[in-house]
Amino acid sequence: MKKIIPSLIVVLLTLIFLGTVSAGGQQVPATEGAEAQEPNLLRIRSVDWLTQKAFISEAADKFMSEHPGKKVTFESFEGRDVNKYIIQWSGGKSDMDLLVVENPEDTTAFIMKDMLFSFDELGFWESFPKDKLVESILAVGTIREQVFYLPIMGEIYWINTNKKLLQEAGVADKDGNIPHPKTWDELLNMAGKATVGKQAGMSVRLDAGSTENSFYSAVKGLRGSFFKEDGVTFVVDTPESREILTAWRKGVANGWITTATMTDRNAGRVAYTAGKLALLYESGSRWPEAAPFIGSANTGPLPYPGGLEGGSMLFVAGFAIPKESEAPNTAVQFIEEIYMTDLFQSKMLNVYGKMPSLKSAYAFASSPEWEQMLIATRKSVPAPQYREHHVFTAGLADNIQAYLLGKQDLDACLKAVQEKLDSIDKRIY
């Protein structure tokens, strides 16, 4: 008897809970933008690193000082947890009025479930002309002609250099001018010269999540596009791919390119900021970041082969406003008044090396070296947001890593990657 009662309770509770869950799982229609007086509170949630690099705290303070009576609060969250908000919003509630995320891919699920306002329907463009923003960056957040994801800043893959180390290696002249490498072999030789003992001269991001970025940015540089003619499917086996991978393998085999990034994506960045790595091929925002540590005269950008002609891969951080937000118009006001200003945008540029979405901000760049990166940014596009994108990213990284470590040959590697690409769900929305 005593054994049955606990079991009965279990079964009963489970049935009850399962019942409530499946009922709540249906979509609650998004509340119409009830235009009653919006509360005086703007709640922001931003990905942890964006809280710092987008100066959210300063933005909040500024807004509050210009609009006494309004309050702005903000909280950080871990990038990957974005999806739990689906549960909140389908339940008709929202913890936040404004979301700040690092990748438009994070909002795909929301857009598909129709949980975000588009900035068009909120009337954003009535007071702010679209052509004030860099076209390639704005395009990232535009779906079916509507902007759901308002870009704050962008990043591209580029090479960050330590000029002093390159001078010592005989690669840079005494003014710190470095020749732009035209081929990956050239770049490899530079890395070789900069390699000192066991300290590699160059780092390429080769971990599970970033290999795709490293690879396809390089491909785009040489080839002009990482898509086939259809404009949406990744290319795999091309002469450019082969040139790049062969060079990387040579670099790894000779110790000129470090493999530390395969397990620790930040290994290169750590070494670079410590002043020990000469060439860092990853996000182009690292060179201003490292300036306080290595000296701003010593850091600078360098295009990878074809970077200036073909462009790179674009990463855009942006704002999204959930339909469950209680203060969407305040959010719009906040964005327009604080973020779409030269002040904030140029600050993000000069301090953290993030490419502003506002064209006019570039006039305030602290260094003429930003020119080359802006040229490339205008030609850059983001990675496609296939439904099973992550599966491909992981598979690509696996095979390239195996090839670079000598565990498989180039043909097998490219073949496996192509198979992976063919097997995934490539639908976008």
Partner 1 sequence: MIKLTRIKGWQFLVHMILAVVSFIFIFPFLYIIATAFKTEFDTFNNPALLSLNLTLENFHMIAASGVKLGAYYLNSVILTTVSTLVVVIVGAAGGYGFAKFKFKSRKPMLITMLLTMTFPLGVLLIPMYIMEFKLQIDDSLIGLILPNIAVNTPFAIFIMQAIFRTIPDELIDYAEIDGCTPFRTWLQIMIPVAKNGLLTAGILCFRSVWGEYTLARTLSSSARSIPLAVGLTFLKWERWHFGIMSAIILLAIIPPVIIFLIFRNYFQRGLAIGAVKG
Partner 2 sequence: MAMTRAMQKRLTGFLFVLPGFLCVLLFMVFPLAYSLYLSMTSYNFAYDAAPTFILFRNYVDIFKDPLFINSIKVTLVFVGLGIPIGIITPLLLALLLDSLGRRTTLYESAIFVPLVVPISLGCLIFLLMLDPTNGYFNFFLTKRLGLQPFNWVEKGWTALLLMVLISNWEMGYQVILFLTALKGVDRELIDAAQIDGATGIQRVFYVTLPQISQTTAVVSVLAIIRAFKIFVHPMVLTTGGPLHATETIYFYLYRTAFEFFQMGQASAMAYFLSFAILLVSIFNLKIFKTD
Interface residues with partner 1 (CB under 8 A)?
2-3, 6, 17, 20-21, 24, 45, 48-49, 51-53, 57, 75-78, 81, 84, 87-88, 91, 95, 266, 269-270, 273-276, 293
- DSSP β-ladder status, 98-101 and 279-283: unpaired
Counting contacts by CB under 8 A, is residue 12 touching partner 2?
no
Counting contacts by CB under 8 A, is residue 40 touching partner 2?
no
Q: Closer to partner 2 at the Cβ: 361 or 404?
A: 404
**Position among 227, 250, 398, 418 found at the interface with partner 2 (CB under 8 A):** 398
Return the closest-CA partner of residue 66 out of 328, 341, 334.
334
Site for partner 2 in 268-327 (CB under 8 A): 270-271, 274, 276-277
* Distances 187 to 181, 329, 396 between C-alpha atoms, Å: 5, 50, 23
- For CA atoms 117, 118, 119, 120, give the dihedral sign: negative
Computed on alpha carbons and rounded to an integer, the radius of gyration of the chain in Å comes to: 24
Distance between CA atoms of residues 336 and 315, nearest Å:
21
**Position among 30, 139, 402, 410 found at the interface with partner 2 (CB under 8 A):** 402
Question: Other C-beta atoms within 10 Å of 134: how many?
Answer: 23
Least Å from the CB of residue 16 to partner 1: 11
Q: Closer to partner 2 at the Cβ: 2 or 174?
A: 2
Site for partner 2 in 234-263 (CB under 8 A): 259-260, 262-263
**Position among 14, 31, 40, 127 found at the interface with partner 2 (CB under 8 A):** 14
Residue 399 interacts with which of partner 2, partner 1, none, CB < 5 to 8 Å by class: none
Distance between CA atoms of residues 286 and 267, nearest Å:
13
Stated length of the chain = 429
Residue 402 interacts with which of partner 1, partner 2, none, CB < 5 to 8 Å by class: partner 2
Residue 407 interacts with which of partner 1, partner 2, none, CB < 5 to 8 Å by class: partner 2
Q: Are 387 and 426 in contact (CB under 8 A)?
A: yes
Residue 293 interacts with which of partner 2, partner 1, none, CB < 5 to 8 Å by class: partner 1
Least Å from the CB of residue 287 to partner 1: 14
Cα dihedral 374→378→379→383 (10° resolution): 100
Q: Are 69 and 40 in contact (CB under 8 A)?
A: yes
Site for partner 2 in 55-84 (CB under 8 A): 80, 83
Residue 18 interacts with which of partner 1, partner 2, none, CB < 5 to 8 Å by class: partner 2
Least Å from the CB of residue 292 to partner 2: 16
For 337-397, the DSSP string reads IIISSHHHHHHHHHHH-PEESBGGGGGG-SSTTHHHHHHHHHT-BPPP--TTHHHHHHHHH
Distance between CA atoms of residues 216 and 392, nearest Å:
13
Residue 349 interacts with which of partner 2, partner 1, none, CB < 5 to 8 Å by class: none
Residue 286 interacts with which of partner 1, partner 2, none, CB < 5 to 8 Å by class: none
